[in-house]
C-alpha cells in the first residue's frame, strides 16, 4: 500500500480546486461495473460495441443529461459530457468504457468515472470555468478490432478501409458490430475533432504494472507512451523422424526459435534502452508431434520502446539475428510486420502541470513512461495531452483481481480535478 498524505489546499493563480467526493466516485465506479459484470469470475466483460458496452454508454449519457450536463454520443460511439459553453475549446478528461474479456472494474472505467466526478465537483461548487470542461468516454480501446478506435476517430486517424475491413478474432466484422450497436460505421469519420476545439486532454488510468506499488508511490506522472510493433515470424526447416535423424543433420525450427529467444537480452543490451521490451508471446510448432522434429515454428514477436529510432533499431537487430540463426540451423526465415504504432510523448506542459500540482498536494509520485498503449497517445496528435497513473496492487491488470486502493484513487482523482481546474481557468 502506498502512503497518501492528507489533502491540503492547492495553491494556484485560479485559486484552489474544490475537493472531490471519494464516496460518490466509488459509487460511480461500482455502478459502471454492473454493466457486463460476471458473477462467476467476479469480473467485467464489456467488449467494444457489445451489448454491455453500449448499455453502459447509454447509462452514462442518461446520467449526464439528468444532472444537467450536455451529453451526446459521436459517430464512433464515444460518449461526451460537457459543463460550459458549446462553442469554446474544451478541457477534455477521459478514458475508455470498454474492457477486455474477464477484466477488473478499474481499467479505463476509473478514468471515465473520475472525469464524471470532476464534472460534478465543479458543478456543485458553482464553478464558472473560462474553458468548458468535458468528459470523454472512448470506444473500443482494448483492441477487439485493433484498439483505440474512439481516440483514433477523434484524432482523425481512422480510415474508411479500416472501418469497413476490420474484424475481431472470431471473424465478426467491425462494421457489423457498429451497425448492431446502432452506429453507422463510416459515421466514425465524423467524430474527428479539430485541434482548435480542444485545449487539453488529461487521462487518469491504473498503472497496470508493478512499478508504483513496488516503490510505494501514489501517483505516476506519465512522460511518454511506448510505441509497439508486431511481427509474425515463420522459421521453416524439415519435419524428420525424431529417432532416425542424427542431431547434426537436422533443420529443427524450434532450435532456431530457442536460439533467438536466448539472443533477446543481448539485442536489448546492444540496441535498446531500459524502456525496450521484446516478447515472444504466441508460438505454434508444426507438425506438433512428440516424435517428429518441428519442421516449422510460427511465432509472434512484439517490440516496444518510447523512441521510434530505438524501435527501428530493435527491428533491424532482430532481423539480423533471425537471419543468422536460420543460416546456422538450415532454416528459412520469413516475417511479416503486422502493425506499427508510433510512440508518443506527453505534452511537457501537462506533465509539468501535474508535477507542480502533485507536489503542492504532497502526494508521493514518480515520473515514468507507460509501457502500455492508451487513448492519450492519439490525443497528443491534436492537443496538449498527458496522463497520470494510480498504483495497481501487485501490478495485476486485465484480470478480475485488478485492484487499486481507494485512498490512492482519491489522490489521483483530486489531482485530475486540480489539473482540470488550472487548465480551465487559464487566460486566453
Instruction: Point out which residues bind Zn ion (CB under 5 A).
Output: 107-108
Of 366, 354, 345, residue with least CA distance to 224: 345
Of 305, 316, 322, 336, residue with least CA distance to 261: 322
CB of 209 to Zn ion, least distance (A): 12
CB of 398 to Zn ion, least distance (A): 9
Comparison of 77 and 108: residue with beta carbon closer to Zn ion: 108
CB of 108 to Zn ion, least distance (A): 4
CB of 316 to Zn ion, least distance (A): 31
CB of 206 to Zn ion, least distance (A): 7
Ranked by CB distance to Zn ion, the top (closest) residue is 108
CB of 96 to Zn ion, least distance (A): 6
CB of 143 to Zn ion, least distance (A): 10
CB of 207 to Zn ion, least distance (A): 10
CA distances from residue 313 to 234, 257, 298, 306, 335 in whole angstroms, order as listed: 21, 20, 23, 12, 16
Comparison of 108 and 391: residue with beta carbon closer to Zn ion: 108
User: Would you say 134 and 78 are in contact if contact means Cβ atoms under 8 Å apart?
Assistant: no
Rounded to whole angstroms, the Cα distance separating 199 from 187 reads 24
Comparison of 361 and 374: residue with beta carbon closer to Zn ion: 374
Comparison of 296 and 375: residue with beta carbon closer to Zn ion: 375
CB of 110 to Zn ion, least distance (A): 9
Q: Are strands 198-206 and 384-390 parallel, antiparallel or unpaired?
A: parallel
CB of 285 to Zn ion, least distance (A): 33
Rounded to whole angstroms, the Cα distance separating 112 from 109 reads 5
Cα angle vertex 122, ends 121, 127, to 5°?
Answer: 150
Rounded to whole angstroms, the Cα distance separating 78 from 192 reads 11
User: Would you say 71 and 79 are in contact if contact means Cβ atoms under 8 Å apart?
Assistant: yes
Alpha carbon 121 to chain centroid, angstroms: 26
Comparison of 236 and 374: residue with beta carbon closer to Zn ion: 374
Comparison of 110 and 310: residue with beta carbon closer to Zn ion: 110
CB of 107 to Zn ion, least distance (A): 4
CA torsion angle for 219, 28, 132, 95 (degrees, to 10)? 60
Amino acid at each position: 500500500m502506498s502512503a497518501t498524505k492528507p489533502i491540503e489546499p492547492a495553491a494556484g493563480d485560479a485559486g484552489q480546486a474544490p475537493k472531490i467526493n471519494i464516496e460518490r466516485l466509488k459509487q460511480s465506479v461500482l455502478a459502471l461495473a454492473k454493466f457486463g459484470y460476471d458473477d462467476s469470475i467476479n469480473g467485467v466483460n464489456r467488449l467494444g460495441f457489445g451489448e454491455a458496452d453500449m448499455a453502459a454508454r447509454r447509462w452514462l449519457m442518461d446520467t449526464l443529461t439528468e444532472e444537467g450536463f450536455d451529453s451526446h454520443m459521436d459517430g464512433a460511439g464515444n460518449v461526451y459530457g460537457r459543463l460550459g459553453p458549446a462553442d469554446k475549446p474544451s478541457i477534455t478528461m477521459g478514458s475508455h468504457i470498454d474492457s477486455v474479456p474477464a477484466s477488473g472494474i478499474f481499467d479505463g472505467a476509473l478514468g471515465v468515472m473520475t472525469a464524471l466526478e470532476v464534472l460534478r465537483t465543479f458543478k456543485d461548487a458553482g464553478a464558472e470555468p473560462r474553458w468548458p470542461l468535458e468528459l470523454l468516454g472512448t470506444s473500443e480501446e482494448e483492441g477487439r478490432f485493433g484498439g483505440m478506435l474512439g481516440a483514433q476517430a477523434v484524432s482523425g486517424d481512422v480510415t474508411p478501409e479500416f472501418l469497413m475491413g476490420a474484424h475481431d478474432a472470431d471473424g465478426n466484422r467491425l462494421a457489423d458490430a457498429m451497425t448492431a450497436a446502432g452506429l453507422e460505421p463510416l459515421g466514425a469519420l465524423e467524430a474527428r475533432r479539430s485541434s482548435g476545439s480542444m485545449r487539453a486532454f488529461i487521462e487518469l488510468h491504473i498503472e497496470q504494472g508493478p512499478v508504483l506499488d513496488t516503490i510505494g508511490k501514489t501517483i505516476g506522472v506519465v512522460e511518454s507512451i511506448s510505441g509497439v510493433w508486431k511481427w509474425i515470424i515463420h522459421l521453416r526447416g524439415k519435419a524428420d523422424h525424431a529417432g532416425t535423424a542424427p542431431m547434426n543433420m537436422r533443420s529443427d525450427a524450434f532450435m532456431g526459435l530457442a536460439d533467438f529467444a536466448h539472443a533477446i537480452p543481448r539485442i536489448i543490451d546492444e540496441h535498446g534502452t531500459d524502456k525496450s521490451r521484446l516478447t515472444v508471446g504466441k508460438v505454434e510448432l508444426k507438425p506438433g508431434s512428440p516424435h517428429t522434429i518441428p519442421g516449422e515454428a510460427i511465432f509472434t514477436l512484439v517490440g516496444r520502446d518510447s523512441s521510434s529510432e530505438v524501435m527501428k533499431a530493435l527491428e533491424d537487430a532482430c532481423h539480423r539475428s533471425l537471419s543468422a540463426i536460420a543460416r546456422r540451423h538450415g532454416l528459412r526465415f520469413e516475417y511479416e510486420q503486422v502493425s506499427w504504432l508510433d510512440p508518443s510523448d506527453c505534452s511537457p506542459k501537462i506533465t509539468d502541470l501535474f508535477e507542480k500540482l502533485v507536489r503542492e498536494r504532497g502526494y508521493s509520485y514518480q515520473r515514468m513512461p507507460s509501457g502500455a498503449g492508451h487513448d492519450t497517445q492519439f490525443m497528443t496528435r491534436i492537443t496538449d495531452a498527458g496522463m497520470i497513473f494510480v498504483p495497481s496492487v501487485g501490478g495485476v491488470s486485465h484480470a478480475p483481481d485488478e485492484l487499486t486502493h481507494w485512498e490512492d484513487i482519491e489522490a489521483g482523482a483530486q489531482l485530475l480535478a486540480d489539473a482540470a481546474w488550472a487548465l480551465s481557468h487559464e487566460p486566453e
